[in-house]
Structure 1
Amino acid sequence: MSLEQTINEDIKKAMLAKDEAGLRSLRAIKAAILLAKTAEGAKESLSADDEIKLVQKLVKQRRDSLDIFEKQNRPDLAQKEKEEIVIMEKYLPAQLSPEELKPVIAKIIEQTGAAGPADMGKVMGAATKELAGKADGKAISAIVKELLAK
């Protein structure tokens, strides 16, 4: 079953359960899918990778908003963002922990022949391709910096 079909089913369940946060989050995902499908030059259906990237983008937007709301002392708005992040993350593959990322990134550094911080771009390109959907870009970047600084 595609993500779109899953989301439609879950919207029905959220409506029946009167789950306001779930409904809000699922409708945001559905809207993003519809926008992606109707964009100029778009294919009729999205691939699984495209769906994952789309949901990751939505989660990243929510995290950025959450940071802003917390800095501006708006706990009411921050709470909504937290709820949406939790629900949206259910539709993403399990994320790798920093402990799981380190050996993978160390291997990529070895393969690319990176020697120091100047080679970060080369490593990030390969790492983001290999770890797409499995880890957040910020987490990858932090570990790459740490390993290249040694």
Structure 2
Amino acid sequence: MSLQQTIDQDIKSAMLSKDSARLRGLRAIKAALLLAKTEKGAEEGITEEMEVKVLQKLVKQRKESADIYQAQNRPDLYQIENEELQVIEAYLPQQMDREAIISHIKDAIARTGAASMKDMGKVMGIVNKELSGKADGKTISEVVKELLG
């Protein structure tokens, strides 16, 4: 079953159970997937990799909004963003922990022969491709800076 079909089924069950927080998150996912499907250059459907990218984008948006609401002392809006964030994250592949990311990046540094921050672009290019959907880009960037710095 594709992600789109899973989301449709989960929307129905959220409507039946009157779970408004889950329903908001699921509708956000459905809208983003439909938008990605109709974008210029999109083929008949979207690939699994594109679905993961859409979900990651939604997660990033929710985290940024939640941080802003927390800084502005708006707990009501912060809670809404956080609820949607949890729903969206449930559909992402299992994220790697920091230790696994560090070991993977150390391996990539050894393979590329990177020695300083000048080589960060080489390492980031390789690691971002290999860990796409499994780790957050911000975390990857932080770890690469730590290891090369």
| Shorter-chain TM band | over 0.9
Q: Which blocks of at least 5 consecutive residues in structure 1 are unaligned?
A: none
**Distance in 2 of aligned mates of 1:40 and 1:120:** 32
How many residues align structurally?
Answer: 149
1:46-85 equivalences under 5 Å are 46-85=46-85
Structure 1 residues 75-99: Cα deviation after superposition (integer angstroms, max 9, x where no partner): 1111111111111011000100101
Offset, 1:121: 1.4
Offset, 1:41: 2.2
Offset, 1:148: 0.8
Offset, 1:100: 1.0
- Asked whether 1:124 is paired with 2:119, we answer no
Offset, 1:71: 1.0
Q: 2:16 — aligned with what?
A: 16
Q: 1:45 — aligned with what?
A: 45
Q: CA RMSD in A?
A: 0.8
| Aligned residue identity for 2:108 | I
**Distance in 1 of aligned mates of 2:70 and 2:25:** 20
Q: Percent identity of the aligned residues?
A: 60
Equivalent residue of 2:115, what SS? coil
**Distance in 1 of aligned mates of 2:40 and 2:93:** 28
| Runs ≥4 residues deviating over 2 A | none
TM-score norm. by structure 1 comes to 0.97
| Aligned residue identity for 1:102 | I
**Distance in 2 of aligned mates of 1:63 and 1:43:** 30
| Aligned residue identity for 2:101 | L
Offset, 1:63: 0.5
**Distance in 1 of aligned mates of 2:74 and 2:120:** 36
**Distance in 1 of aligned mates of 2:100 and 2:36:** 32
Q: Which blocks of at least 5 consecutive residues in structure 2 are unaligned?
A: none
Q: 1:144 — aligned with what?
A: 144
TM-score norm. by structure 2 comes to 0.97
